[in-house]
Structures are given as C-alpha cells and as structure tokens.
Structure 1
Amino acid sequence: MHALRKIHPLRRIVLASATTVSGMVLLLSLKPHTTPDLALPAPSAGASAPSGSVAGTRTVTGESTQTRYGPVQVRITLKDGRLTDVTALAYPQQNPRDQQINGYAIPRLRSETLSAQSADIDTVSGATYTSEGYRQSLQSALDSASR
C-alpha cells in the first residue's frame, strides 16, 4: 500500500482540505467580466443621411441588414477617402440583454472599423449576429461610397 494511506491517514485529509481551500480562493479571486457603461445614441428608424460634400466629406448609409435578433444598420463618414466616423443607426436593443451585449459590442466594432479602414473586422465574442449584420451594412456603405 501507499505510504499516505497506511501510516498517516490524517495527512491525506489535510492535503485534500488544503487543496480544496486553495482552489476556492483562486476561484473567488477571479474578477467577473464587466461591460463599461457606454452611452449609445438611440437608433432612429429609417434614418438616411444626406450625402454631403463639404470639404471632401461624404456621409453614406449602409443597407439595413436583418439579423436573428433585429436589424443592424450603419452610417459612415468619409473625408478625403478616409473613414473618419461610423455610427450604428439600428441594432438590437429590445431587451436588457440585447442592450448589454450591444452596449459592449457596438463601440468595439466602431473602433475596429476605424482602425482597419474597411469591413474586414473581427467578430465581437458574444455578439456574433450583431457583428455579422454590422459588417454587412458597413460593406454596403463602403460599396456605395466607392461608386
């Protein structure tokens, strides 16, 4: 037989207890993922922006893309051919969970779009459908702007 089982049975109990307590301390010390409180403008239904040409600035609204949880639509602003702003006009926000997910996802999608200067952006984890709809609407706006 093994030495721990035969000679010192209490040693095994103490070792198991210490391991359990250590594991619990590690689990309880983990911080939960919190989403930043970001104020997003309320989407306006059916809004379309006029295309302006003030000092090389154009504003183009992408097509509304229907996702599993609702429509997603974006408006882009281009200045001298460079993407300077992206605004989500419509996105799912029918319930608190949608609001929480998209309160986190929309600013990240916007930031990635401005960094990439294209619709080639990563999907935000937990917001797959919104990310896909955002990317499709963004691509349609970019396609319209290039005409």
Structure 2
Amino acid sequence: MRRITLWAFSTIAALVLLFSYRTSTNTPATPAAAEAPLSEPTAAGGGKAYDGSSVQTQWGPLQVHITVAGGRITEITAPTSPADNPADAGVTAGALPQLREQVLAAQSASIDGVSGATFTSEAYKQSLQAALDAAHL
C-alpha cells in the first residue's frame, strides 16, 4: 500500500509540474528586405550613409541607418523601430541608445545586446550587419 501511495503522489506531482511549465511563444526576428545603400554624403561628417535591411520583429519592423567616415561608423540611428508601437515603446526606446553606444564602441555588429530587449537587439544586429555589408566594412 505504501508503494502505491508513493507512486500515485509522484505521478500527480510530475503531471502538475508538466502542465504548469510555460513555453515561450516568441519567435525570432527574421529579415524582411534587402539593404539599400545611400550614396549621399551627410552634413555632419562628410561620410557616406547606408541603410540596413528592415527586420521584422514580433512588435514591428526595425531598420538601422549608419554613417561611415574614414572606415569608421560615426553615427547610427534607427529611423524605423518598434518604438513607434505604443505597446513596446518603453522597452525599445530604452534599448536603442544602449545599442548605439555598443556599436560605436565595437565598430562592428559584434555587440552584446540589451537584456530585456532580446528580439529588438537581434533585429538591430541583423540590420546593422546588412548596413556594414553595404558599406564594405
């Protein structure tokens, strides 16, 4: 009788744990369009500007725009981002300046990203890499 009770309790505990486990429903960002390099010099540093690909995230598209002068990234912006979506504005608006600083310091797409903004960080890196490829950096 003792073994049956222990077995029944173990089975019920395992089922409760199994059904209470929550899986992630988030999907990774995927590229949506090809890069479109711009050839006009910018007023700030006389460098060339390049747009990365538009990358679709769960909360909306993200696209990076870089300015390159002397083989270095001198400026980076995100003219299109999920920050335009009110539901995700807080997370994205907080992440974009941190991502910008990481890119300017690293001068590449090899950045850490921002904790709590994983999908935005991944989309940012993908769009940035497309812009760097267009700039041949």
Same fold by TM-score greater than 0.5: yes
Instruction: Answer 1 or 2: which has greater strand percent.
Output: 2
Deviation readout 1:6-60 (Å, 9 max, x if unpaired) = xxxxxxxxxxxxxxxxxxxxxxxxxxxxxxxxxxxxxxxxxx7732247761100
- Paired AA for residue 39 in structure 2: S
User: Which stretches in structure 1 are left out of the alignment for 5+ residues?
Assistant: 1-47
Deviation readout 1:91-141 (Å, 9 max, x if unpaired) = 113224x11101110000000000000000112011001000000000000
Q: Following superposition, which runs of at least 4 residues in structure 1 exceed 3 angstroms of deviation?
A: 53-56
Matches of 2:115 and 2:41 in 1, distance apart?
36
Q: CA RMSD in A?
A: 2.0
- SS at 1:50 equivalent: strand
Counterpart residue number, 1:51: 39
TM-score, length basis structure 1: 0.62
Q: Does 1:89 align with 2:79?
A: yes
User: Which stretches in structure 2 are left out of the alignment for 5+ residues?
Assistant: 1-35
Identity %, equivalent residues: 47
Matches of 2:124 and 2:100 in 1, distance apart?
9
Count of residue pairs brought into register by the alignment: 99
Maintained 8 Å contact 2:37/2:134? no
The structure having more radius of gyration, on CA atoms, is 1
